[in-house]
Amino acid sequence: MSLFGLADILLRPPSAGARDPARMALIAGERRLTYAELTDRVLRLATGLHRRGFRRGDVIALYLKNRVEYLEMIFAAAHMGGVLVPVNYLLRPGEVAHIVADSAARWLVTETSLLAGVATSAGPEFLVVVGDPEGVVGGGTTVAYDDLVVDEADAPAAVVESSETALLQYTSGTTGFPKGAVHTHATVLVNTLAQVVDFEITSADTHVVVPSLSWAAGLHCLTLGTIWRRGTVVLKPTGGFDADDLADLVERHHVTTGMFAPSVLRMILESRVHERHDLTSLRLVLSGGEPVTPAEIGELQRLLPAVDVRHGYGVSEFPSVALHLPADDVVDRGGAAGWSTVAANIRVARPGGGDAAVGEHGEIVIRSPATSIAYLDGTSAVVDGWLHTGDRGYLDDAGIVHVSGRSKEMIVSGGLNVYPAEVERVIAAFPGVIEVAVIGVPDRRLGEVGHAFVVCDHPATLDREALRRHAEHELAGFKVPRMWTVRADRLPRTVTGKLRRSEML
DSSP conformation letters of 188-224: HHHHHHHHHHHTT--TT-EEEE-S-TTSHHHHTTTHH
Is the pLDDT at 174 greater than 60? The verdict is no
The three-state secondary structure class of 130 is strand
Q: How many CB atoms lie within 10 A of CB 19?
A: 15
Spell out the residues 6+ positions from residue 89 whose beta carbon is closer than 8 angstroms to its own: 63, 64, 65, 114, 117, 212, 214, 238
The amino acid occupying position 352 is: G
| Angstrom distance (rounded) from CA 343 to CA 220 | 14
Q: How far apart are CA 480 and CA 427, in angstroms?
A: 10
Q: Which amino acid is at 194?
A: A
H/E segment holding residue 424: helix 420-428
**For residue 398, what pLDDT band results from cuts at 50, 70 and 90?**
very high
pLDDT digits (tens, 9 = 90+) for 357-397: 998 988 999 999 999 999 999 999 999 999 999 888 889 99
Looking at residue 500, what is its pLDDT?
A: 76
Q: Which of 303, 233, 241 is nearest to 272 (CA)?
A: 303
- Beta carbons of 423 and 481 less than 8 angstroms apart: yes
Mean pLDDT of 249-270: 93
**Is residue 121 predicted with pLDDT exceeding 70?**
no
Confidence (pLDDT) at 253: 98
Q: What is the spatial distance between Cα 422 and Cα 426, in angstroms, rounded to a whole number?
A: 7
User: Is residue 139 pLDDT above 90, yes or no?
Assistant: no
Q: Which of 147, 123, 3, 8 is nearest to 69 (CA)?
A: 147
Dihedral sign from CA coordinates of 288, 472, 436, 498 = positive
Cα gap 345→352, rounded to integer Å: 19
Question: What are the helix (H) ranges across 254-293?
Answer: 262-271
The pTM (predicted TM-score) of the whole model is 0.85
pLDDT of residue 22: 86
Query: Which has the higher per-residue pLDDT, 234 or 239?
Result: 234
Q: What pLDDT, on the 0 to 100 scale, is given for residue 183?
A: 98
Q: Angle formed by the axes of helices 262-271 and 294-303, to 10°?
A: 50
CA–CA distance from 489 to each of 180, 421, 436, 454, 455 (Å)? 37, 20, 11, 9, 7
When pLDDT is cut at 50, 70 and 90, the band that residue 464 belongs to is very high
For the segment 485-490, the average pLDDT, to the nearest whole number, is 92
What's residue 496's pLDDT?
Answer: 43
- Domains parsed from the chain with CATH numbers: 6-183 (3.40.50.12780), 240-406 (3.40.50.12780), 411-503 (3.30.300.30)
Assess contact for 475 and 438: CB atoms under 8 A. no
Q: Are 411 and 450 in contact (CB under 8 A)?
A: yes
Of the chain, the percentage scoring pLDDT greater than 90 comes to 66
- Number of residues written out for the chain: 505
| pLDDT band for position 240 (cuts 50, 70, 90) | confident
Residue 319: is the preceding peptide bond cis (ω within 30°)? yes
Contact, 127 vs 136, CB < 8 A? yes
Local confidence band at 19 (pLDDT 50, 70, 90 cut-offs): low
- Checking if the pLDDT of 495 tops 50, the result is no
Q: How many whole angstroms separate alpha carbon 10 and alpha carbon 167? A: 17
Confidence of residue 333 (pLDDT cuts 50, 70, 90): confident
Tens digits of residue pLDDT in 48-104:
999 999 999 999 999 999 999 999 999 999 999 999 999 999 998 989 999 999 999
Helix then strand then coil, % of the chain, to nearest 5: 30, 25, 45
Q: Is 93 exposed, middle or buried (0-12, 13-18, 19+ CB in 10 A)?
A: middle
* Average pLDDT score, the chain: 90
Report pLDDT for 494.
55
pLDDT of residue 48: 97
Of 327, 335, 332, 337, residue with least CA distance to 304: 327
Give CA–CA dist 299/504, Å, rounded: 34
